[in-house]
Amino acid sequence: MKYAIVESGGKQYKAIPDGTIEVDRLLQQAGDQVELDVVLLSDGEKITVGTPYVDGVKVHAKVIEDFKAPKVTIFKYRAKKRYRRKLGHRQIYTRLSIEDISEKKDKKGK
């Protein structure tokens, strides 16, 4: 099975053709095309590791939507000091549909 490890926002994700991944929010709108850098490429039998990226390989993805993750509650408390702080946070993510993993062939056709 062919897959690639891509990098977006300083984090790495496993991209499989015709699959989806959820990355930190991107500025592109729904329907836009995105190109991601490949850190590692596997075609099922051979693994290629980049330094830091694999030359000539890109993952093409399409932005599906932006969405919010479930709320995370942050509660700070100091015993016997009457100190309490309650905060909530919802991170915004972008869902990407992986269209293909493209490899440029060099002049010798390898």
DSSP assignment of 70-87 equals PPEEEEEEETTTTEEEEE
- 8-state DSSP, 43: -
pLDDT in tens, 4-29: 999 999 999 999 999 999 999 999 99
- Whether residue 107 is predicted with pLDDT greater than 60 in this model: the reply is no
Domains of the chain, residue spans: 3-66+94-103
Residue type, 104: K
Rounded to whole angstroms, the Cα distance separating 25 from 9 reads: 9
In degrees, to the nearest 5, what angle opens at C-alpha 16 toward C-alphas 30 and 55?
A: 95
Structure token digits, residue 6: 């891509």
